Amino acid sequence: MRLGVIDVGSNTVHLLVVDAHRGAHPLPASSHKRELRLSEHTTADGSVAPEGIERLVGFVSECLTIAEDQGIEDLLAFATSAIREAPNGDAVLQQVRDRTGVDLQVLSGPEESRLTFLAVRRWFGWSAGRLLVVDIGGGSLEFAAGIDEEPDVALSLPLGAGRLTRDLPGDPPERGDLKVLRKQIRSDIARVARDVTKVGAPDRFVGTSKTIRSLARVTGAAPSGEGPYVERFLDREALRDLVPRLATMTAAERATLPGVSAGRSRQLLAGAMVVLAAMDIFDVPRLDLCPWALREGVILRRLDWLDS
């Protein structure tokens, strides 16, 4: 069957269309996305601003037209931290429902983590052993660890690259501000480290998300044009060398790096600081990259449900 997934993230809203059936690898048929940056279209109290709501409603309406044109049989729609944490999140969901008919389901942080873990497990298979998965988005950072398809631990922290960048003035930021941010990031991750490691030593460390892919590309990983099956990884020492470079660059200068879009260049530094902190605290020499993440996890869970 042909499935569609609308993913409302903090930075990007994305419609992914896949062809899938029982026992088969879901094959991407088309993709439509836009950088709405809902996390930046906010009022003083963190509510999604009217402009952000209008942009979201408009994009969801576009997705419905594409879904019909593409012959989608089942359309799923979910939202993450940008809507989950907004004081007017329920009102935003109601507006989308009333004006488009689409019922956006809000995922909790742990749900995000579990579904991403499922996607990673299916991609690498049982031979990967016990996994530790790191996923960083615009609004949150997720950790999941375990040996089955359901992780033994799934955690979410408010350490998204976009969220931290909003509190980091300057282009490039001041050294003192970076020092304060570094301390905050590492203390927050260290606080949950025991919860992640107590379930057992991982056999494989995996990273997902656009931020981690961009950092890997900057440090030498193959470009996306070489396909999803090329081995890609993010090396900790290469990242350690990169962070000071990023700290002295403007957002415009970062956008000239390979694999870094202008829309994400400003938050690349904060994202790199978070990923390096996680790799240091969990003593991860390298993160293997997985091309599947939350969207694919949602699709796989839906297929499992239909199967049952």
Give the model confidence (pLDDT) of 95-152 as tens digits. Answer: 999 999 999 999 999 999 999 999 999 999 999 999 999 999 999 999 999 999 999 9
Question: d(Cα 197, Cα 222) in Å, to the nearest integer?
Answer: 30
Question: d(Cα 232, Cα 242) in Å, to the nearest integer?
Answer: 17
Contact predicate 230/222, CB 8 Å: yes
Q: What is the mean pLDDT of residues 257-285?
A: 96
Phi, psi of 238 (to 5 degrees): -65, -40
| Burial zone of 205 (CB within 10 Å; 0-12 exposed, 13-18 middle, 19+ buried) | buried
Q: Which helix (H) or strand (E) holds 153?
A: strand 153-157
pLDDT tens digits along 22-56 = 777 889 899 999 988 888 788 888 899 999 999 99
